[in-house]
Amino acid sequence: MAKCPVCQGAVDEAAAKAQTGMTPGGAKEVDPTMGTRQFHDGTWYYFDSLDCRNKFTRNPDGYLQGSA
Ligand SMILES: [Zn+2]
């Protein structure tokens, strides 16, 4: 089980990766209420909500300090 680097909450990786739809352009769509993820510095990070991902996007190094 992945952990949200922002709030340390548990994230269901399978749900975050599950494809829920397709955009008209063919891009994969994921249900953001099921968790989300972001590729940063060679690693996928999983988040329990878009809110947490937005915080991480603004200051990734601040949330990754001490966890490496
Ligand atoms: Zn979180």
- In the chain, count of helices (H) and strands (E)? 3, 6
Residue type, 47: F
Q: What is the mean pLDDT of residues 20-33?
A: 74
The total domain count for the chain is 1
Distance 21 CA to ligand 1 centre (A): 23
pLDDT of residue 42: 93
Distance 11 CA to ligand 1 centre (A): 8
Does the pLDDT at position 28 exceed 90?
A: no
Distance 16 CA to ligand 1 centre (A): 13
pLDDT of residue 55: 95
Q: Residue 45's closest CA among 10, 8, 5, 18?
A: 5
Q: Which domain holds residue 14?
A: 2-59
CA distances in angstroms from 66 to 40, 41, 55, 62, 63, listed in the order given? 16, 16, 17, 9, 8
Distance 23 CA to ligand 1 centre (A): 26
pLDDT of residue 31: 66
5 band by pLDDT with thresholds 50, 70 and 90: very high
pTM: 0.72
Asked if residue 64 belongs to a domain, the reply is no
